[in-house]
Amino acid sequence: MMKHILYKTASIALIGLAMASCDPEFTETGMLTTEDKRPVATASVSSLLIEEGKDATIKFTLDKAIIEPSILLVSVVGAENDEENNQVLEDLSLNIQDQTSSSLEQGRGFELKIPAYATEVELNISALVDSYSEGNEKHVLRIEDHTYNRVKTSKEGNPIFIPITIKDIPSLDLAINHESVLGPNGTDLCEAGVEFYLYLVSADGTYIDPVQDDCSSKFTLNANTLKSGEYTIEGYIGGYGDFPRDPVVNLTVPFSMGVAKKASNSVNLTFNTANDKWTEFVDAGTVTVNEDSTYIVKDANGKVLVDTTK
């Protein structure tokens, strides 16, 4: 299950006017004894859609400032109006972290601090990427008054509920897997200890390392984790193990590409085992990442193998 972590920072708008405190007065039982003139916080959005790997910001604006710090209570719940499901979510792999004040006890969420003289405060939300493709996730963000604080979330004192949808971005799997691949005379390349390496290389020459297993080299890519642009795919022989390099032979290994919920494609990569050739890379194609997180994979001849733009 994907993990989503909510971060927050405070953006302060200072004002130069002198203002009086708007603290309401309460009885010991919590009954309001004076006219409630507390500032009201209004959210900049009524709902939110975030793609995996992307960030979003919710701004809360006060209709008037206060001279002392205040607090809003922020939590993620399962639903807005269902009392049985209107509980702070703690059993999901969805972490809520407070970066500027100590977290509250489990089950209460965290505090969003509003500094003195502030008229705005921001809640920054980051959706982490996962390798699953279980579809979009939906939750509800609840923002409410802290006990006896100086700011309200509505004139009636009701919480603010903001539905949040985490949009699933299907990952792209690129892999060289030589398990059970046989070389000359039936030699099992994996058992012989031959190692193949797969790299993604950006336009500026930066190498992105894959996950290296015993008999495979693979990427699980989410386009939101990559900057838009074109990347080349390079393959290498990283080691021969016990495989003899004399006589010289060509080793053919399948290179597969797959996108969640779509058919995978495979092309053969040929590696030359000549002593002066084994360090040379094999051109496995390109990955083009677009601004909207779609991507196109082509083989070395320019043939389109994967296209998520359609």
* CATH code, domain carrying 272: 2.60.60
Find out whether 166 and 193 touch, Cβ atoms under 8 Å: no
Of the segments 43-52, 139-148, 264-273, which one has the largest average pLDDT value? 43-52
Is residue 156 located within the same domain as residue 10? yes
User: Of 135, 167, 199, which closes a domain?
Assistant: 167
Question: Which residue has better confidence, 36 or 289?
Answer: 289
Cis peptide bond prior to 244, omega within 30° of 0: no
Is residue 135 located within the same domain as residue 21? yes
Identify residue 269 by its one-letter amino acid code. L
Strands (E), 133-281: 137-145, 160-167, 172-177, 195-201, 207-208, 211-212, 216-221, 229-239, 250-259, 265-272
Is residue 159 located within the same domain as residue 256? no
The answer to whether residue 233 scores a pLDDT higher than 70 is: yes
Is residue 182 located within the same domain as residue 143? no
* Six token digits for residue 30: 């919590």
User: Of 103, 135, 167, which closes a domain?
Assistant: 167
The answer to whether residue 62 scores a pLDDT higher than 90 is: yes
pTM of the model: 0.62
No. of helices (H) and no. of strands (E), the chain: 1, 21
How confident is the model over 286-301, as a mean pLDDT? 88
The answer to whether residue 10 scores a pLDDT higher than 50 is: no
Handedness of CA 147, 153, 158, 159 (dihedral sign): negative
Q: In the chain, how many domains are there?
A: 2
User: Of 119, 149, 167, which closes a domain?
Assistant: 167
How confident is the model over 189-208, as a mean pLDDT? 90
Question: Which residue has better confidence, 94 or 50?
Answer: 50
- The residue range of the domain holding 131 is 4-167
CATH number at residue 159: 2.60.40.2030
How confident is the model over 45-50, as a mean pLDDT? 91
Q: How far apart are CA 186 and CA 175, in angstroms?
A: 23
